[in-house]
A and B are shown apart, each in its own frame.
Chain A
Amino acid sequence: MLNVAQLSLGRGGRLIQQDLSFSLQAGEVLQLLGPNGVGKSTVLHAVAGLLEADAGELHWQAQPIEADLEAWHRSLFFLPHKLPAHPVLTPVEVLRDSLALKGLKPSLSQIDEALLAVDLLDQAEQAAGSLSAGQQRRIWLARLVLSLRMLQSELLWLLDEPLTSLDKQAQSLVFDLLKQHVARGGLVLLTSHQTVELDGLRTLTLEVAE
């Protein structure tokens, strides 16, 4: 489904990855490993199309992603390391805005259910800026819940450090969401310095480019 071939990436005028190739089939989870600064995040950005690669090709469902960018953007969800939660917006609003970008209008009960699933319902109407780092990340776990329930086309999850600032309970929730996503034939490309407890997890260790 996702095919990355001979990707070369630079950052700040310096080559950090060269000839990186991997592929991901339906129902697979790939964890990128490697020391800080090796370019894990950068690879994720390049796969999402947020960063132009110096060289290389990206194919989604056997088509170059440039062939149909709209379909590509419908198929992926990218969770950056920095959190897209505006401090003055409430979790409900953050989720509604995020889904509006995908052209969806979830009902309040659908959002509430997702917030309940991540144990954030009590903070549903609080400004995100007043929530703790872990609670802010939970907003995005709720976004993943909504992806599972409402966005059948969102098959590729790109998760940059999804386990950061989460307690044990929330981490196991992440693993649970990953399992559900895999069960529906979804693909996950993630970076994490922590152990991802998942059967059939593939890992790819990035090396520093010469």
Chain B
Amino acid sequence: MNAFLASFERECRIAWRQKMDVLNPLIFMAIIISLAPLALEPSPRLLAEVAAGFAWLALLLGAQLTGSALFADDWRTGWLKQIFLSPSPATVLVLARLAAWWLLGFLPLVLLSPLAAMMLGLPSASAMALLLALLLASPALLIFTALGAALTLGIGRAAALAPLLVLPLLVPLLIFGAGIVRLHADGLPVDGQYWLLAALSMLSITLGPLAVTAALRLQLVD
């Protein structure tokens, strides 16, 4: 537990010093949302209809910005080796890394998305549904993104390759997650969809860190 906390604190400290890594995805999302009315017909009805979908897409892509290079610094500086040579299980330390990134890389994006969608005219009741859906889906999104980052570590141009690997895997989450807002707007029950997202996230949190650690273990020799 101490090792987890120490590692978590370290990652937060680094993120705090590299604020652009935290801010870039947020700015990215704001830009995508601002471009939507320019790309589409600027009618309030149409924009309100596509708002939730755009928020989902902006979040998925925004998370890839920093996510695809999640372990790059640790790898480049050799810290990854130290992690795997620690008496504490490497999975615990990797989990600390992921938890810190969820807090600083995902949570701000998730909190911003309903606001961004409301900017396009999404009713506030639907925005709450969007927020809950994204919150429930975010751990699964995070784990898949981290897995992509770990697998492409050490390959040049990994930043471009990882999203290509990860985004197709996120299709089920996108289908269920983006569907929630539509169903909710139609007044249909959406509890089932929430549970499904939560289940996918639970599964990812349970098995994901093991898979990410195994993928990182392959990249320890340079």
Contacts and interface: CB of A to CB of B under 8 A. Distances in A.
Tell me whether A and B are bound partners. yes
A97 B10 contact: yes
Contacts of A85: 77
Contacts of A102: 86-87
Nearest to B219: A50
Given A82-B76, A102-B86, A89 B81 contact: no
Contacts of A84: 77-79, 81-82
Interface in B136-162: none
Given A85-B77, A86-B73, A86-B79, A50 B221 contact: yes
Given A102-B86, A102-B87, A103-B87, A80 B81 contact: yes
Nearest to A9: B221
Contacts of B88: 101, 103
Contacts of A50: 81, 84-85, 220-221
Interface stretch (A30-38, A68-76, A164-172, A192-200): A68-76
Contacts of B206: none
B43 interface: no
A181 to B, nearest CB: 18
Interface residues of A, number: 30
Given A82-B222, A93-B13, A103-B3, A49 B85 contact: yes
B220 A73 contact: no
A42 B10 CA distance: 29
Contacts of A73: 85-87
B99 interface: no
A101 B78 contact: no
B87 A83 contact: no
Contacts of A127: 17
Contact of B77 (A82, A93, A100, A103): A82
Interface string B1-27: 011001100100110011000000000
Interface string A135-147: 0000000000000
A67 to B, nearest CB: 15
Nearest to B78: A84
Given A50-B220, A51-B220, A98-B82, A70 B87 contact: yes
Interface residues of B, number: 26
Interface string B120-148: 00000000000000000000000000000
B82 A86 contact: no
B36 interface: no
B83 interface: yes
A45 interface: yes
Interface in A85-138: 85-89, 93, 97-98, 100-103, 127
Residue of A45, A71, A85, A97 contacting most chain B CB atoms (<10 Å): A97
A80 B85 CA distance: 12
B114 to A, nearest CB: 32
A83 B85 contact: no
B220 A101 contact: no
Contacts of B87: 70-71, 73-74, 101-103
Contact of A48 (B76, B85, B222): B85
A165 B14 CA distance: 26
Interface in B20-74: 73
B77 A86 contact: yes
29 contacts: A42-B221, A49-B85, A50-B81, A50-B220, A50-B221, A71-B87, A73-B85, A80-B81, A82-B76, A82-B77, A82-B78, A82-B222, A84-B79, A85-B77, A86-B73, A86-B77, A87-B77, A89-B17, A97-B6, A97-B10, A98-B82, A100-B6, A100-B7, A101-B82, A101-B85, A101-B86, A102-B86, A102-B87, A103-B2
Interface of A: 11, 42, 45, 48-51, 70-71, 73-74, 76, 78, 80, 82-89, 93, 97-98, 100-103, 127
Q: Would you list the 10 A-B pairs with minimal beta carbon distance, nearest first?
A: A84-B78, A100-B6, A88-B17, A101-B86, A50-B220, A80-B78, A73-B87, A82-B78, A70-B87, A84-B79
